[in-house]
Structure 1
Amino acid sequence: MQLQQAQKKQVKLRIGISGPSGFGKTYSALLLAYGMTDDYSKIAIIDTENGSASLYSELGNYNTLTLEAPFSPEKYIQAIKLCEEAKMEVIIIDSITHEWNGKGGCLEIQEQLGGRFQDWAKVTPRHQAFIDKILQSNSHIITTTRRKVDYSMDTDSNGRTRVIKHGMKEIQREGWEYELSVNFELLNHNHLVSASKDRTGQFMNKPEFVITPSTGKLLMKWCNNDADLIKAKNEIKQCETLEGLRHIYAKYQNLQKQILKDVMEQKANIEAINAEVIPNSEVINNVPKTTEYGTETS
């Protein structure tokens, strides 16, 4: 057991791409994964869609693992383990719908046990083990999920029954979306997506767009930015010269606002140490009114 400072780099991305059949889930997942790795050989697709993962082999030398029925949670877990052992950086599970609503999936398992409510006591732990494996994996994971139009019957004020369309519903156990870092919903055959869930703050409430490798690069930049900030702060803390501080401040141009306070505090520490060695009059005469860090000294 060890207490560590939180870093986004320690947390692997869990990304969902959902949409009806034919909207481009697999293709979008591959482009996203390539943007995250810059290397197709570090990408693996767990394919439950009858070999559809191989349809885009012209993109690059990514890896495929075909999963056939029965689509039990344990079979998915075994497939993820194989990809991890092969040191895959990004694992695409295409799709996780079969684990829930496919042949040998959780709904069928519960039905075979008798279809009673109490039978979920045996099925839910197996499904949760599948979810936990995704969340605890040391690889980035992209899942695709089928969506279907959700309808209900409603009665209006005149007593007439009508069909109400509620939009697209993911075919997975309710609540899956809450486990994700980002969930992209494909909106049409033109591959436009919007983010229905976004912990990164990069896509929520933004215009619809098409997933490209640049989307993956943006997500990785978000992942790695926190680690760079911690690295910069550690370098500042260990720096013993003003020249060294200027070098660090210049090196981390994209983090200068975040590290300015740390730079100025360490500058004051260095000047205090120097004041014990250099006569006070010399120190006072050499302190500039403004600094190269964009603020005034006292």
Structure 2
Amino acid sequence: MFQKAVRKRAKARIGICGPAGSGKTMSALKLAFGIVGPTGKIAVLDTENESASLYAHLGDYHVAVIKPPFTVEKYISGIREAEKLGYDLIIIDSLSHAWAGTGGILEFVDSRTESAKGNKFAGWREATPKHNSLVDAMLQSQMHVIATMRSKTEYVLVDDERGKKVPKKVGMAPIQREGMDFEFTLVFDVDQERHIATTSKDRTEIFDGFHGKLTEEHGSSIRAWLESGESAKNHAGTTQEQQPSGPKSITQDQVMELETKISEVGADRDKFLAYLGVNRLEDIPAERMTAALKALEAKTKKSDGTPGTVTDITAILAARRIPFKLDETNKEVYATPSYQDTASKEFLKTKGFKWSSSYKAWVIKMAA
């Protein structure tokens, strides 16, 4: 009956909570890119008026828009469709509409209560199984799942830098059924003012005491943790004699091949190793050599699409309406998006811009 406890490989189950404007969608996408890697496929169920498509500059992902009524059945159908199409990860943005949106669970309960002449228990008797079916669809999915949830908001008075009391908007409990956070492996709470995330639940122990902005690198760390568990096949009792023959790790020739490729494409070695969940190239499992090469090839393609001249980059900045200045002598471009324009700043990072406190601008030195 009892067996030794062994952590198995698993899929991500992540919740991201925060008030409107806190950056839940962008945070979810950044984690997603890190979790699936450069060759993974990401799907987004968008209930937020097609806002998920605003971050297309971050990378490739596909969006399916859910419009009112936000019934549980629509969510489940979207999850099933993404599974059928072979996506590796799905972002549900936002899960709160299934609870408190038009046609959501609370509205369903109200309609059933009215039909039952005020008997609210009759409404919940039907609503609870519907809600549970959505939870089951997420938990049993073969995809990684990231769900954003709006937080109930409240204004509190805080002291500003001059000691004056000013109102500040803060996020409270997520708008979902109480206890929903228990269903996730990780739950992040993101604040509206600085888009800083903290963890309210962390079974991975990676983010213990975490306080910062979520990035693709954090997603890579989550992926490494998920894949470090024992495979279900091994846990089921496959013996050493039953294991396929061949090298457990890549050969020295393959190590040299990867070394050369990393140098050629200018890949970040630490990020590459984190993506594969190893500390050294020599530790890469033999069966992951193909995935490693594909990741570096994807890096090559991504690099080829990066503008390399002053003309290229200024044309893109103008098209995106990002203010900039050009220093023709030094071949430097200074971009100055507004403080609130988070999307433009993230875009500039992807193009190689660096923040300069001296110039108070995002700067890149370009080829002639």
User: Shared fold by TM > 0.5?
Assistant: yes
For the residue of structure 2 that corresponds to 1:22, the secondary structure is coil
Q: Could you tell me how far apart the structure 1 residues matched to 2:53 and 2:87 are? A: 17
Q: Could you tell me how far apart the structure 1 residues matched to 2:29 and 2:278 are? A: 32
Aligned pair partner of 1:180 in 171, 184, 193: 184
Q: 1:88 to 1:20 in 2, by over 3 A?
A: same
Alignment of 1:130-145 (within 5 A): 130-145=134-149
CA RMSD, 1 decimal: 3.4
How big is each residue's C-alpha offset from its partner over 1:11-54, in whole Å with a ceiling of 9 and x where there is no partner?
21100001000010000100000001123760000000000010
How big is each residue's C-alpha offset from its partner over 1:108-149, in whole Å with a ceiling of 9 and x where there is no partner?
011111253211001110011011100100000000000023
Higher Cα Rg: structure 1 or 2?
A: 1
The Cα shift of 1:101 comes to: 0.1
Alignment of 1:235-274 (within 5 A): none
Q: 1:141 to 1:167 in 2, by over 3 A?
A: closer
Q: 1:5 to 1:57 in 2, by over 3 A?
A: same
The Cα shift of 1:8 comes to: 2.9
Q: Could you tell me how far apart the structure 1 residues matched to 2:226 and 2:138 are? A: 18
| Partner residue in 1 for 2:8 | 8
| Partner residue in 1 for 2:73 | 74
Task: Say if 1:150 and 1:169, in contact at 8 Å, map to a contact too.
Answer: no
The Cα shift of 1:5 comes to: 8.5
Alignment of 1:135-284 (within 5 A): 135-149=139-153, 168-204=172-208, 206-227=209-230
Task: Say if 2:44 and 2:52, in contact at 8 Å, map to a contact too.
Answer: yes
The Cα shift of 1:227 comes to: 3.1
The Cα shift of 1:236 comes to: 11
Partner amino acid for 1:212? T
Task: Say if 1:24 and 1:189, in contact at 8 Å, map to a contact too.
Answer: no
Q: Could you tell me how far apart the structure 1 residues matched to 2:141 and 2:21 are? A: 29
Structure 1 unaligned blocks of 5 or more: 152-164, 239-243, 256-298
| Partner residue in 1 for 2:338 | none
Query: Which 4+ residue blocks in structure 1 deviate beyond 6 angstroms?
Result: 252-255
Partner amino acid for 2:190? L
| Partner residue in 1 for 2:315 | none
User: Is structure 2 residue 119 aligned with structure 1 residue 116?
Assistant: yes
Partner amino acid for 1:223? L
| Partner residue in 2 for 1:156 | none
Taking structure 2 as the reference length, the TM-score comes to 0.56
How big is each residue's C-alpha offset from its partner over 1:130-177, in whole Å with a ceiling of 9 and x where there is no partner?
1110010000000000002369xxxxxxxxxxxxx9961110000000
Q: Could you tell me how far apart the structure 1 residues matched to 2:225 and 2:150 are? A: 27
Q: 1:59 to 1:66 in 2, by over 3 A?
A: same
Task: Say if 2:151 and 2:171, in contact at 8 Å, map to a contact too.
Answer: no
Task: Say if 1:32 and 1:211, in contact at 8 Å, map to a contact too.
Answer: yes
Q: 1:166 to 1:55 in 2, by over 3 A?
A: closer
Partner amino acid for 1:217? S
Q: Could you tell me how far apart the structure 1 residues matched to 2:214 and 2:221 are? A: 11
| Partner residue in 2 for 1:55 | 54
Task: Say if 1:8 and 1:227, in contact at 8 Å, map to a contact too.
Answer: yes
The Cα shift of 1:61 comes to: 2.0
Q: How many pairs are equivalent?
A: 228
Partner amino acid for 2:11? K
| Partner residue in 1 for 2:106 | 107
How big is each residue's C-alpha offset from its partner over 1:185-214, in whole Å with a ceiling of 9 and x where there is no partner?
00233221000001111113x141110001
Higher helix share: 1
Q: 1:212 to 1:254 in 2, by over 3 A?
A: closer
Q: Percent identity?
A: 40
Taking structure 1 as the reference length, the TM-score comes to 0.69
Q: 1:68 to 1:235 in 2, by over 3 A?
A: closer
The Cα shift of 1:235 comes to: 11
Task: Say if 1:41 and 1:62, in contact at 8 Å, map to a contact too.
Answer: no
Q: 1:28 to 1:236 in 2, by over 3 A?
A: same
